Structure 1
């Protein structure tokens, strides 16, 4: 049977390389753990930490973001949900033949579209350090959403799926999360 003999310096170099790599992975895991700790801290300052963590961990940039960066990510989550809700409401309006039902759904669609514009402005405000302006824009977004919910509840003919109701609840939660995080900047 053949045996392999490695020169001692090759084996030593290999062991040194392994040691160096293991230290790098250890430092990287500590860094990620530290950044995940910030996510946990920021999210536990809100009333809906699970929704907050879900939003933030959906963005790979959250691991290296500071508090302001995490706030931007939450506002981006809101913007994505506003797009989805705007589209859902618009699509639902085409299903109904009743004018007043269409009007309610199209009104909601327009509110989410207006909210998207405000959320983009909120991101600009955050980046320029105008936190009060950003908070006002997010609060306006929440007000529009609540107005939409009120109109849907008042208009009995509008039937929304449990999936859409869940999306709307998450949107409301994200608005409140964003407001709470911005308050602490």
Structure 2
């Protein structure tokens, strides 16, 4: 197994950390894009794109670095947040899930590089994001956070209906973009180091 990152790998990890920070703060210019305390962001899109373009290993590393950078205090999370206290946020499960989203998306794409595989991988990656994040949110409200009045498991999922159409469309868009990138750039010999697998 090759664990050493090349200069290109490190640069791309940094680029996706920056993209995640930008995607996390769409609500800074559109504050109405918050439903039930859940910001509607572009992070799922970029997490999927990281896995589909960088591969499972480097994609997951980029999402881990993003999470770590935010936890140490750099304001890269939604609403320009950062710091260790985010571990106790009801929405922190979505942030953790980005690591698994990128990894699984990349693993599926590594097996077969057809546009249908890219789309399937992206939708599965999005599903991981929703499953992990929504369940974390539910249990955090039940165990340590102050839950809204009448909060229930079904309410948690009802909140997710609002960003769902957007995330489905963006996931498919990420898949198509990544597939085209593979055909026009990677397959011609550029950035081959991005396709190392664990």
Q: TM-score range by the shorter chain?
A: 0.3 to 0.5
TM-score, structure 1 length as denominator?
0.33
In terms of fraction of residues, the more helix-rich structure is 1
Larger CA Rg, structure 1 vs 2: 1
TM-score, structure 2 length as denominator?
0.31
